[in-house]
Structure 1
Amino acid sequence: MNDFLHKLPAFLGNHLALSALFALLLLGLVATEVMLRLRKYKELTPAGLTLLINRDNPLLIDLSARADYEKAHVPGARHVMPSQFDPEHKDLAKAKELPVVVMDKDGRGADKAAQRLVKAGFAKVYTLGGGVAAWQQAQMPVAKGGK
């Protein structure tokens, strides 16, 4: 280990571009992790969502396209079109104290909805990481159809 520490300054001096690239990548990774830990909502795995459903009976909101929702959705999830999603709606505002899980087909669009819920004053906001696709991949039960 001592030999490594003595050779490190010479290596860094001989490989400035690689050293700078490594430092930038490391800084980017650290910044990303810090941002994920500081956001006001959490991402759940399918197993984590199962625990939450069994423990707290959360409100499940699926923002998938209608056709995707009808093909497969988490049992108990309510379908809402992304264009009609309004955290200030009177029916949704009643659930401010409940845990709310936002999901979509692949987990890409749920973050914006979760941020809107946090801004509207919802205390316990979650997203399903990977969306309904991750739920299916984990071989969890799905519901089909419009209800």
Structure 2
Amino acid sequence: MEFIQQHWYWAALAAVSGTLLIVTSVRGSRGISPARATQLINRDDAVVIDVRDAGEYAAGHLLNAQHIPLGELEKRLGELDKLKDKPVILNCQSGNRSASACDILRKAGFTQVHNLEGGIAAWEQAGMPVSRNKKKK
């Protein structure tokens, strides 16, 4: 107890870092990096689903990404049934909407769902290619 009183800042730091470790473990990781996503696409034929709005998608998207806006995802799950046991990478602009999409797919029984950490912004920052072609279904 004397140590804690004399070094309260170390005790506080240990408490904060321990809390962050527990929260991270419970929530899981935020997603996969662009490099890891590229490996999944190239090695495991992962399917990329872009959950952004049409205008965002048209401005640039990952090569061969399917476009299903987040608001339509639940009603279009039937289109994705064949992917339930395959790697699926979801992306949006920053990773927030795609994190919600990951939850929807997991609840629907998808087993290999990944969120592109940082979204297309991180993808482009990593120097990865972006397509500006018309939407692919």
TM-score, normalisation: structure 2 = 0.85
Give the RMSD, CA atoms, in angstroms: 2.2
What does 1:1-147 align with in structure 2 at a 5 Å threshold? 10=2, 12-16=4-8, 18-19=9-10, 21-37=12-28, 43-86=31-74, 89-147=77-135
The number of equivalent residue pairs is 135
**1:87, 1:93 within 8 Å by CA — same for their partners in 2?**
no
Distance 2:27 2:132 in 1: 33
- Indicate the SS of the match to 1:24: helix
Deviates further, 81-90 or 125-134: 81-90
**1:87, 1:117 within 8 Å by CA — same for their partners in 2?**
no
After TM superposition, give the deviation of residue 123 of structure 1 in Å. Answer: 1.2
Listed as ranges, the gaps of 5+ residues in structure 2 are: none
**1:105, 1:131 within 8 Å by CA — same for their partners in 2?**
yes
Distance 2:2 2:15 in 1: 20
**2:62, 2:120 within 8 Å by CA — same for their partners in 1?**
yes
- 1:19-78 Cα offsets, whole Å, 9 max, x none, are 5532431222211231244x7xx7211111111111111221101122111111100111
Distance 1:80 1:26 in 2: 38
Listed as ranges, the gaps of 5+ residues in structure 1 are: 1-8
| Structure of greater Rg | 1
**In the alignment, which residue of structure 2 is the partner of 1:4?**
none
- Indicate the SS of the match to 1:60: strand
After TM superposition, give the deviation of residue 136 of structure 1 in Å. Answer: 0.3
Percent identity between matched residues is 33
Distance 1:123 1:87 in 2: 19
TM-score, normalisation: structure 1 = 0.80
